[in-house]
Amino acid sequence: MSDQKQLAVKSAVDSWNSTIKSANVLFSSLGDEQFAKEVAPGKNRGIYLLGHLTAVNDLLLSLFGLGEQMYPQLNDSFLKKADKAVTDLPSAKELKEYWKNVNAALDKHFAGFTADDWFKKHTSVSEEDFAKEPHRNRLNVLLSRTNHLSYHLGQLALLKS
């Protein structure tokens, strides 16, 4: 039943979309002051995690071969370096705008994907390796990124009073 392939893709994309939606609701409820706080004493600040999640989603555009990263200037502060290693970060307000724009771009692409498109290779695996390891496809990356987002959302939710 190829219907089941469609169902599996639907479950994965629905899970991604609903996690993004939960993030949007949470981020809207938090102001600059709350994002400036650490999620727990001595741990990452909210703003760092917001920038980190934005940069990770932004990288999906190139990883899926859909286009260039929109905000490559985030990589150094939010992917290569740890929190507190950089002092001049964008504001939470700016990052929330980037977050929205990156997800809108992804959403536009994902809405046009067929089920088969999700089983195509991502750009960080070679044709040779993909022939041997066909599970290294976009769907697999989407599941992994959904979990990564959930992991940090659990932490960011602690900023709510």
Q: How many CB atoms lie within 10 A of CB 81?
A: 12
Q: Which of residues 40-99 bind its own copies (CB under 8 A)?
A: 40-41, 43
Q: How many CB atoms lie within 10 A of CB 35?
A: 22
Q: Which stretch binds its own copies (CB under 8 A): 60-68, 71-79, 99-107, 146-154?
A: 146-154
Q: Which stretch binds its own copies (CB under 8 A): 52-60, 67-75, 103-111, 153-161?
A: 153-161
Applying CB under 8 A, does 153 fall inside the site for its own copies? Answer: yes
Applying CB under 8 A, does 132 fall inside the site for its own copies? Answer: no
Residue 160 beta carbon to its own copies: minimum distance, rounded to whole angstroms: 9
Do 57 and 106 form a contact (C-beta atoms < 8 A)?
yes
Sole binder of its own copies in the list 3, 68, 88, 128 (CB under 8 A): 3
Residue 152 beta carbon to its own copies: minimum distance, rounded to whole angstroms: 6
Q: Which stretch binds its own copies (CB under 8 A): 27-35, 69-77, 88-96, 150-158?
A: 150-158
Each as own residue / partner, the long-range contacts of residues 57-61 (CB below 8 Å, 24 or more positions apart, any chain) are 57/99, 57/102, 57/103, 57/106, 57/145, 58/98, 58/102, 60/106, 60/141, 60/145, 61/102, 61/105, 61/106, 61/109
Nearest to 44 by CA among 94, 74, 81: 81
Do 106 and 61 form a contact (C-beta atoms < 8 A)?
yes
- How long is the chain? 161
Applying CB under 8 A, does 17 fall inside the site for its own copies? Answer: no
Residue 13 beta carbon to its own copies: minimum distance, rounded to whole angstroms: 10
Question: Which residues would be at the binding site for its own copies (CB under 8 A)?
Answer: 1-5, 7-12, 14-15, 19, 39-41, 43, 115-116, 119, 134-135, 137, 139-140, 143-144, 146-148, 150-155, 157-158
